[in-house]
Structure 1
Amino acid sequence: MNNIVDGGCFCGTVRYSFESNNYPSSNCHCSMCRRTSGAAFVSWMAIPVTSFKFNKGEPKKLVSSDHGTRYFCKECGTHLTCLLDEYPKYVYITICSLDKPQDFEPKGDMYVEDMLDWVKR
């Protein structure tokens, strides 16, 4: 039986869970992630949609580009997930919205060409 991993927003309005596994993860340095989060980069993990579910609340939807949709808490603004048209079998969760983000270290970086100069490599 797989372990269940829990996460959610800062205020507790939205909660989610998924079956634990060794899923791909990375820090994204693209300008869209930086702009929508207000941070230098966003740490993401790709979870199969069949393993993921929202348990409480319904996140607000933001169509952030012609190829992706982001979801966040409409009460506190926590960025939670992203769906990419190119990879419809996955939901991308923000690692820092997990209850125990320290257990899921990102395995790499993407869009490093867009990385801010002051971010340490």
Structure 2
Amino acid sequence: MSDAITRGSCLCGAVRFHLDLPSKWCAHCHCNMCRKAHGAGYVTWVGFEANHFTLDSGEDALRWFDSSAGAQRGFCSRCGSTMFFRSEQWAGEL
């Protein structure tokens, strides 16, 4: 799947992005913080090198919340869609 691109957005479409494939990893997280942030039993995350991520629009709508020490969760301030996670533990990844 090299040289492929996938696109995504929040629910309202204010925040739009694309990612250069392949991803670095994919995993399910069952930690309390992820379950609370998403209102679900677990969250599926796909990890990318930060330089494979491009924010196409919505920089003004994207907000970051300090969810725990050294970690932030990105969300759309207009529709509330949870979108991204970044952490000092995995610097350079999104």
- Looking at secondary structure, tell me which structure has more strand per residue: 2
1:17 and 1:66, CA in 2 relative to 1: closer, same or farther beyond 3 A?
Answer: same
The SS at the match of 1:90 is coil
Deviation at 1:50, TM superposition (A): 0.8
Deviation at 1:17, TM superposition (A): 0.6
CA distance in 2, matches of 1:22, 1:33: 20
How many residue pairs were aligned? 91
Deviation at 1:8, TM superposition (A): 1.1
TM-superposition CA deviations, 1:22-72 (whole Å, max 9, x none): 431011100000111111111101100011011110211100011200000
The SS at the match of 1:6 is strand
CA distance in 2, matches of 1:88, 1:12: 27
1:83 aligns with 2:86: yes
1:8 and 1:20, CA in 2 relative to 1: closer, same or farther beyond 3 A?
Answer: same
**Quick one: higher RCO (CA 8 Å, sep 6+), 1 or 2?**
1
The gaps in structure 2 that reach 5 residues or longer are none
TM-score normalised over the length of structure 2 = 0.91
Fraction of identical pairs, as percent:
30
Larger Rg: 1
TM-score normalised over the length of structure 1 = 0.72
Structure 1 stretches of 4+ moved >4 Å: none
CA RMSD of aligned residues (A): 1.2
Matches for 1:19-98 after TM superposition, within 5 Å:
19-58=20-59, 59-91=62-94
